[in-house]
Amino acid sequence: MEETYLLNVEGVKKKILHGGRGELPKLQDGSKFTFHFQTLKDDFERTVIDDSREAGMPMEIIVGKMFKLEIWETLLSSMRIGEVAEFWCDAIHTGMYALVSRGMRRIAEGRDPLEGQKHRCGMGNMFDYHSTGYDDLDELQRTPQPLIFIMELFRVEDPSAYKRDTWAMSKEEKLAAVPVLHSEGNRLVLRREFAQAAAKYQEAVICLRNLQAKEKPWEDDWLKLESLVTPLVLNYCQCQLELGEYYEVLEHTTELLQKHNDNAKAYFKRAKAHAAVWNEREAREDFQRVAHLDPSMAAAVKKELKQLGERMRKKHVEDRKRYQGLFQSSQGL
């Protein structure tokens, strides 16, 4: 269609390129849009800035979750399923596009979209950046300008119709999800499905860490959340031990012990990981800390130290044989 439709929003024009089907979707907080988009400059060449199809994945927006580019929620709300529309947006609506695009590009590249970002509001972050890391986005940041968005809306889902991503949950939803995820992880451990169990524990930890980020460290509310995090991290580490991911265990237990240096279970799991990667001295030190902190674990520590000693002796014998073989081979040359 050539006719241009105004959206009753200042600085926005809409042109329907392909009609959709049905009525306009009924939206509520938590509804999810899934769509492809193309962003173009409003110049003679209509220079393409971003294209989600080239990035290889559609875009998703959750209604009511304060997406940085607020106008996109307005644009999508005017579309029917299957519709393709072109929107011209004045610079008053596109000032945050450089930051939004930067994040989307980082995700497409497999990088952290928040890498290096300070914990401030979006506009504050904008002034913190000297460069987005992309020349074309730096230009947009220096010179705000009208942009054209071509969008194709695939589907709109109610909150109950899809699995909510952690970041899209409210505080109450995250708190409610944690015990469910914990229980599911425990059930999977009993079935020895350790990778799946680890994923459940990790998701629960992410929920709690997101909530902790809004609290002042070491104050009551932060500490209450931390008390829920600790057993989940320990369960996650136990799964990683079973899966042979020893360096993953070393990383997470060390981080935990930096905050809670009296946690015997964390020392025990870290000791087992050290032992598995032949860090004998570190393993012995951690096992000894366990026995000191929790005498009830002394028998388990004694057993682990005996096994460690046997493994190290066997390794030394094998190493000597290997070195002797290499020496004899070199003498025969």
Q: Mind listing the pLDDT tens digit for each residue in 323-332?
A: 666 555 555 5
- The residue behind tokens 């000597």 is 320
Q: How confident is the model at residue 36 (pLDDT cuts 50, 70, 90)?
A: very high
Could you tell me the CA-to-CA distances from 113 to 24, 39, 217 in Å, in that order? 32, 19, 24
Q: How confident is the model at residue 210 (pLDDT cuts 50, 70, 90)?
A: confident
Tell me, what's the pLDDT at 3?
57
Dihedral sign from CA coordinates of 225, 227, 230, 232: negative
- In the chain, the percentage of residues whose pLDDT exceeds 70 is 85
Pair 27, 61: CB distance under 8 Å: no
Report the SS3 class of residue 127: helix
Q: Mind listing the pLDDT tens digit for each residue in 265-322?
A: 999 999 999 999 989 999 999 999 999 999 999 999 999 999 988 988 888 787 777 7
Report the SS3 class of residue 112: coil
Q: Mind listing the pLDDT tens digit for each residue in 117-155?
A: 443 343 344 344 457 788 999 998 888 899 999 999 999
Q: How confident is the model at residue 226 (pLDDT cuts 50, 70, 90)?
A: very high
The helix (H) or strand (E) run that includes residue 36 is strand 32-41
Could you tell me the CA-to-CA distances from 248 to 33, 207, 233, 252 in Å, in that order? 35, 20, 11, 6
Q: How confident is the model at residue 168 (pLDDT cuts 50, 70, 90)?
A: low
Average pLDDT over residues 9-20: 93
Could you tell me the CA-to-CA distances from 267 to 198, 245, 299 in Å, in that order? 19, 16, 15
Q: CB 84: neighbour CB atoms within 10 A?
A: 17
Is the pLDDT assigned to residue 184 strictly greater than 70?
yes
* Cα 156 to Cα 61: distance, rounded to the nearest angstrom: 10
Phi and psi for 249 in degrees, rounded to 5?
-65, -45
* Cα 39 to Cα 48: distance, rounded to the nearest angstrom: 6
Give pTM, 2 decimals: 0.53
- Indicate the pairing of strand 4-6 with strand 59-62: unpaired
Domains observed in the chain: 4-157 (3.10.50.40), 171-319 (1.25.40.10)
